[in-house]
Chain A
């Protein structure tokens, strides 16, 4: 009973924090727009300056929604992976999805010269990077799924994912070895991630995909609790293990894969957020962890985005650097604490 009260309190608190951060996020940026004007605009009045209206409605709002979607999607995939592999250091990219995506993008940016011309025209168009990244993740996903059909041991899938990661990063190294400085810069910038370039259409598309992925994850909440006790125990409880594993891998792949396609590989969020949720809520009940991870993921990424926008300054910082700067100390702290961490 006491536990439930505490959880209710935390959920209310986190929801309030999320709402406050959302409004803080859209009111802060390089250009300072008075809060009064923002409230005014939400009430349907016109703002003092045209440019403010564009910045608020077509730049900051899509960016804030992107941050929320990305935070939720990556954190949930992290939670799924950590439970599936029963490994606190697993994250959304542990299956090699981001390596697959970066391989796709590397082929387009660094290896454009090797592509046949009809493919080059497709991939060098505005959606080329998104497409290449999605295809790259899909390729790794299919490979991992095919291998996982053959493997009984879940840990083996983890290792296969890591192997795919090494393999693709080696190919990326070879490609970058033969690239110009300009191509390398472009590729590096892609790998730093960006929440800011999505139009409303792209945000809607991302919303639909994320929604499907999160819905799939919701379906496996119960089996996840059983999985914590081990595969055999889960099977004895009547969990269809193969099916559950399949859904988990599939949900993670479309979540992490589509996020990487649209905003680039975003580090650490997926690894760190499930731990924060577990520490805060002191539970291993996946129903509670599911919702708390969603909330905390959105909160952390909104917060990182505020920092990356450097309010009041003319410059911005790459989002991926900010998430790592915040995420890395959390992971180190977790490792140090690991002795009382089950």
Chain B
């Protein structure tokens, strides 16, 4: 706040941007309207958001009646602890919206869980998918880091997807740069991963299968 006062003293105008406090994917994306208002492009912003909202809801409809919910594991081991997103986190929410069964969906909170290897193996050994295995971007890297990963079914079947390998022109990870603004693409990606039959022609935008 001190620095804000300094800025005000020097006759700078201050606006707080609180988009990061939004809890829902569409809520975050809706902040495009805020920036639209700032740049006097209200109509354009509204059109962009309506399109995102429609695509998002369309994707939800695609999976609404699918009975089979694939089981999902996430995160990775970091020095003895397996870090996974908590049940109310942004990441877990997408998995739920895409009609997946994230194995730790019941946990409370929006941060991350730190569990022992034993606990995770016991619960997720037969999980169908492993989504976002931390920093790993290749199968080889996973097995080299900890040979105990090989016991997971998702590893044996190579059903591992990550959003941290696709980089933009300037070298940043696209997911971190764009995902909050394009929940429609994130959701479609996860729908495509979990239920490929409903989006046969869609190409993954943020995610990539580990090789």
Q: How far is the CA of A30 from the CA of B122 in the complex (A)?
A: 10
Q: How far is the CA of A49 from the CA of B125 in the complex (A)?
A: 11
Q: Which residues does chain A contribute within 8 Å of B106, judged by CB atoms?
A: none
Q: Is the CB of B119 within 8 A of A31?
A: yes
Number of interface residues of A (CB under 8 A): 27
Q: How far is the CA of A17 from the CA of B142 in the complex (A)?
A: 38
Q: Is the CB of B116 within 8 A of A309?
A: yes
Q: Is the CB of A316 within 8 A of B116?
A: yes
Q: Is the CB of A197 within 8 A of B125?
A: no
A50 in contact with B125 given A125-B144, A189-B78, A190-B79 (CB within 8 Å): yes
Q: Which of A52, A55, A125, A196 contacts B80 (CB 8 A)?
A: A196
Which of B20-28, B146-154, B169-177 is found at the contact surface with chain A? Answer: B146-154
Q: Which residues does chain B contribute within 8 Å of A49, judged by CB atoms?
A: 122
Is residue B45 within 8 Å, beta carbon to beta carbon, of the partner chain? no
Q: Is the CB of A55 within 8 A of B121?
A: yes
Is residue B145 within 8 Å, beta carbon to beta carbon, of the partner chain? yes
Q: How far is the CA of A49 from the CA of B144 in the complex (A)?
A: 26
Q: How far is the CA of A315 from the CA of B113 in the complex (A)?
A: 9
Number of interface residues of B (CB under 8 A): 21
Q: Which of A187-215 contact B (CB under 8 A)?
A: 189-190, 192, 194, 196-197, 199
A-contact 0/1 string along B106-142, CB 8 Å cutoff:
0000000111111101100100000000000000000
Q: Which residues does chain A contribute within 8 Å of B144, judged by CB atoms?
A: 125-126
Q: Which residues does chain A contribute within 8 Å of B68, judged by CB atoms?
A: none
Q: Is the CB of B79 within 8 A of A30?
A: no
A55 in contact with B79 given A314-B116, A315-B115 (CB within 8 Å): no
Q: Which residues does chain B contribute within 8 Å of A50, judged by CB atoms?
A: 125
Q: Is the CB of B148 within 8 A of A58?
A: yes
A31 in contact with B118 given A54-B151, A199-B147 (CB within 8 Å): yes
A194 in contact with B148 given A31-B119, A315-B114 (CB within 8 Å): no
Is residue B81 within 8 Å, beta carbon to beta carbon, of the partner chain? yes
Q: Is the CB of A30 within 8 A of B78?
A: no
Is residue A318 within 8 Å, beta carbon to beta carbon, of the partner chain? yes
Q: Is the CB of A51 within 8 A of B116?
A: no
A194 in contact with B79 given A58-B148, A126-B144, A314-B119 (CB within 8 Å): yes
Q: Which of B78, B79, B113, B121 contacts A51 (CB 8 A)?
A: B121
Q: Is the CB of A29 within 8 A of B116?
A: yes
CB distance from A24 to the nearest CB of B (A): 16
CB distance from B144 to the nearest CB of A (A): 4
Q: Which of B78, B115, B117, B145 contacts A196 (CB 8 A)?
A: B117
Between-chain CB contacts (< 8 Å), 22 pairs: A30-B115, A30-B118, A31-B119, A31-B122, A51-B151, A52-B122, A54-B121, A54-B148, A55-B118, A55-B121, A58-B148, A58-B151, A59-B117, A59-B118, A60-B118, A189-B79, A190-B79, A194-B79, A199-B147, A314-B116, A315-B116, A316-B80
Apart from A55-B118, A197-B77, what 12 extra A-B contacts exist at CB < 8 Å?
A30-B118, A50-B125, A51-B122, A51-B125, A51-B151, A54-B148, A55-B122, A59-B121, A125-B144, A189-B79, A196-B117, A316-B81
* Closest 6 pairs (CB-CB, A-B): A189-B79, A30-B116, A31-B118, A30-B118, A126-B144, A31-B122
